[in-house]
Amino acid sequence: MTHTLIIGDNYPALLNLLITYREKIKVIYIDPPYGKDNLGDFAPTNYNNAITRDNLLSMLKPRLELAKMLLRDDGVIFCSIDDRNQAYLKCLFDDIFGERNFCRDMIWLKGNAQNDADTIQRNHETILCYAKNIESNPINKILQNEKVKVFKDEKTGKFYYEGAGLSMGGGQGGSLENRPSLGYTFYFNPNTNDIKPIFDYDKEAVRANNTKEIYTDNIELIEQGYITIRPPKMGAGNGCWKWSLEKTMLEIDRILIKNGKNGFSVYYKQWLESKEVKKDSNGNLYAMIEKENPPKSFIDFASSGLGTTELKNIMGSKVFNNPKNTKLLKYLLQISTTPHGTQTGG
């Protein structure tokens, strides 16, 4: 991989990059000047140290338009900004990248004390994150070690921990209208814990908003003490399950039904090998597992002081104020590029 350092104004630099890298860049990070009220805290710029908010937005607009042209379909852009300008800059990003492609505001806790603040200390910055196409799943999940409570299944004798819910999330196209075969009913007997998944609805009527127009209760089972558990609604529409009826029948021993404040919900059990199960000092069973979780929106492990220390170690002195530290930038690259060396830019 070739590393290139371009010195000069960023607009002609972006134009130059377009020649070779149009729609080839996976991630871009920018750290614009935040405005003249805060210029004392940041590096000198080529804008006479007097970037008003209007000038900041006017300067960024054509550069963001070029940045969008550089991004791949699964590309993302991160932008550091302070709380005074975040709302205005987000409107500009919404206009260029589309509001639906907004991933999240990330809060970077800088770890700097401002004990002389007039009102409230400013200890954080915001990092705006936008995708070129949110449908491309541009942000990676993070593998994390997690301690989980372990149970022993009475029927099979296997160890397990509680997995995710079986109902489809809204972000996964989880409507019965889109997946008309995944709306079957769990008939559950709370007295015996018996579970019977049954296809008891009219697939042609899945657009109806009233479940009574879609489903036909199995009266025989209800008279035997069974209750019906159906996919929870998704907004104005009807929900669906993650598993097909066939898979659920094959994996029926993994189905776990729990009674909560909103009624009965369906989960599935994640089996464990006995060697994975440990016992704590109180005799409770647990296991350490690797889970994939979306990155959190709060970054509290990369204080701003690290950047200053890193720069002084390289240059021998404090060259400019408040440089971003490499730990923060590495994290942004980690959550936005694949583990296989995807090309990055910024």
Q: What is the pLDDT of residue 62?
A: 95
- pLDDT for res 210: 67
The reported pLDDT for the residue numbered 323 is 73
The full set of domain ranges for the chain reads 10-141+294-334, 144-293
Distance CA 253, CA 248 (A): 9
- The CATH architecture to which 10-141+294-334 belongs is 3-Layer(aba) Sandwich (3.40)
pLDDT at site 266: 97
Contact residues for 189 (Cβ-Cβ < 8 A; gap 6+): 195, 224, 225, 226, 227
pTM: 0.65
In the chain, alpha helices (H): 10-21, 53-70, 86-97, 219-223, 245-250, 304-315, 326-334
Whether the CB-CB separation of 87 and 105 falls below 8 Å is answered with no
What's the pLDDT score for residue 274? 94
Q: What is the dihedral angle through the alpha carbons of 75, 29, 92, 66, rounded to the nearest 10 degrees?
A: -70
- pLDDT tens for each residue of the chain, 346 residues long: 567 888 878 899 999 999 999 999 999 999 887 655 444 443 344 444 446 788 889 989 999 999 999 999 999 999 999 888 999 999 999 999 999 999 999 999 877 666 667 888 878 889 999 999 999 989 998 888 899 999 999 999 999 999 989 998 655 466 888 889 999 999 999 999 999 999 999 888 887 666 677 899 999 999 999 999 999 887 767 889 999 999 999 999 999 999 988 899 999 999 999 999 999 999 999 999 988 888 989 888 766 667 777 777 887 777 766 677 888 889 999 999 966 333 333 3
Instruction: Answer whether 343's CB lies under 8 Å from 24's CB.
Output: yes
Q: What is the pLDDT of residue 255?
A: 97
CB 63 within 8 A of CB 96: no
Per-residue pLDDT at 38: 46
